[in-house]
Structure 1
Amino acid sequence: MELQQMRYVVAVAETGGFTRAAERCHVVQSALSHQIARLEKELGARLFDRTSRSVRLTAAGEAFVPVARQALEAAERARAEVAAATGEVRGRLAVGAISTVAAVDLARELGAFRTRCPQVRISLQTAMSDQLLEQVRQGVLDVAFVGLVPAARTVGVREKELSRGELVAVVPPGHPLAGREWTTLSRMARETFVDFTAGSAARRQREDAFRAAGLTSEVAYEVTTVEFLAKLVRAGLGVGMVPEAIASELAGLDIVRVRPAPERTERVVWSGLGPSPAAVAFLTGLGVDPAQRGDPA
């Protein structure tokens, strides 16, 4: 079993086809297919069900791919550690962030890191906090920027709080609350909300405050990005609550402070098992001690 064979299998699983996988791996499709067939023969099981229209993982393939990813990541980590021992930072830096990250200028920080460490391959994805935390625990991401209620405890990662702030209401022009400096949480409870998906950390930031005040709220529209939330609020479909630092960037909406205000923290998190050399370099550039204590359990 060779790492290249594992790489080909993972590529097919992620792209959904042999042609696209071959393009990603920069090989001809026949060579990729031949290597996967050799691996299947060695394993004694088919990894893919192939039809003229689709390629799907078999049960054996479903079991094989996660372990293959871990093996590829371990091999890459080994190369990066050797390079770091000689004074060169190499490998990958996979970063995740919520769409409302405001504690750092992420574009600027990634640009500065690329200048300092040009041999590192950087990737970035946005998602909800819970998904990002899980991807850091699984090793899919090296570092993630998340937003959580102040009392939230993270498990399996290390972390540093970057900022703490309040949520404010955003309403469309012409709304009864537009132009007001502040309102109460009980007044907000009478509104229809555009909010993040149920069960998400972003949703809990608002709902915990309502629950603590003995209030409930109606959510008619669920979104996964602050941009879409703002678009629906502008259309007059409901009101929203977003971090104060983000609200000022949402054109065409009025900002109203709320009392008592829901609170949230922004945190940077990384693997509880220890960051890669690239992650160490990136965190250090942020002024974060990679040895920061957390709960790696």
Structure 2
Amino acid sequence: MELRQLSYFVAVAEECHFTRAAKRLHVAQSGLSASVRSLERELGADLFVRNTRQVRLTPAGAALLTEARRTLAASTACVDAVAAVQGLVRGSLSIGTLQCLHVVHLPSVLSTFVSTYPALDIEFRTGGSGELTGMVAQGKMDVAFVARPAVPPEDVVVTPLASEPMVLACAPTHPLASAARVPLAALTGERFVDFAPDWGPRDLVDTVVGDRHVALEVTDVHSLLDMVACGLGIALVPRSFSVKTDRVRFVGLADRVPRWETVTVTAAPPSAGAIALVADVRRAAGLTSG
């Protein structure tokens, strides 16, 4: 029994007509009919009742139809699995990330990943969470490691990666630097240093503080912390930023505020390369075993 025979049989069963089935499969009717007759001889049963007006399944044909469809589906799944692996080995993978992905050291993960799949063409860029998420949604990027979007676009899959509290960053000489915890009300009237709009921390702080004076906008973490250290303003940042400098004081917040969440964003369905990379990142972050 061959897959081609099963494919011909299913087409005739669905069309209830040999000529239409042959046209659907782009084969000669004589060849299709011969293949079905060969299948019937092999099984020792008539699969169709044929007359001048119609073609319909016999009980044996009806029994075979369910299994034939299942077998053909399994065959397709096998082909798809091999194609996915070939795509991973020889395809391309476009990756986007926040500037500081604290949960893992992404360059180390990528180094191992590239060694495992040396023929995979890797593209990499950093950017704002909104921009990178939009690129995944538009099919311009395979996977992004970003701040959780407030409203995820359609046709993307958002998977949690890490979360942490927000803290106040201020110069050591700032009046709030020695506080055990700072209420949000104490930030009223302060001058802020922050990222550009559409960057993850900026969007989150805007929802937490509301109306405030953002005097200096930056697009990288180290510039933000340098300006805070020099007393040019304060900032609300993820707590992991505290490992980047000892020239800034980081103080916990007294009020309950949303946590800073890092997520992975992939297309739906994700590419084979995206699945493999996300698995490696999660493993490196201690989120999966193996």
Q: Quickly name the TM-score band, shorter chain normalised.
A: 0.5 to 0.7
**CA contact under 8 A between 1:233 and 1:239: conserved in structure 2?**
yes
Supply the AA of the counterpart residue of 2:182. Answer: T
Match of 2:103 in 1: 103
C-alpha distance 179-90 of structure 1, shift in aligned 2 (>3 A):
farther
Supply the AA of the counterpart residue of 1:154. Answer: P
Q: Please give the residue correspondences for 1:105-254 in structure 2 after superposition, counting only pairs within 5 Å.
A: 105-148=105-148, 152-156=150-154, 157-211=156-210, 216-254=211-249
In structure 2, C-alpha distance between the alignment counterparts of 1:267 and 1:191, rounded to whole Å: 30
- Structure 2 unaligned segments of length 5 or more: list them: 1-79, 284-290
**CA contact under 8 A between 1:128 and 1:202: conserved in structure 2?**
no
In structure 2, C-alpha distance between the alignment counterparts of 1:267 and 1:251, rounded to whole Å: 28
Match of 1:255 in 2: 250
Instruction: Say which one has the larger Rg.
Output: 2
Per-residue deviation at 1:93? 1.7
- Structure 1 vs Structure 2: percent identity of aligned residues? 31
Q: Is residue 267 from structure 1 mapped to residue 263 from structure 2 by the alignment?
A: yes
Runs of 4+ in 1 over 3 A off after TM superposition: 80-88, 198-201
**CA contact under 8 A between 1:89 and 1:277: conserved in structure 2?**
no
In structure 1, C-alpha distance between the alignment counterparts of 2:133 and 2:116, rounded to whole Å: 27
Q: SS at 2:165's partner residue? A: strand
**CA contact under 8 A between 1:185 and 1:259: conserved in structure 2?**
yes
C-alpha distance 196-277 of structure 1, shift in aligned 2 (>3 A):
same
**CA contact under 8 A between 1:208 and 1:262: conserved in structure 2?**
no
C-alpha distance 99-128 of structure 1, shift in aligned 2 (>3 A):
same
RMSD: 2.4
- Structure 1 unaligned segments of length 5 or more: list them: 1-79, 289-297
Per-residue deviation at 1:123? 2.4
Supply the AA of the counterpart residue of 2:261. Answer: T
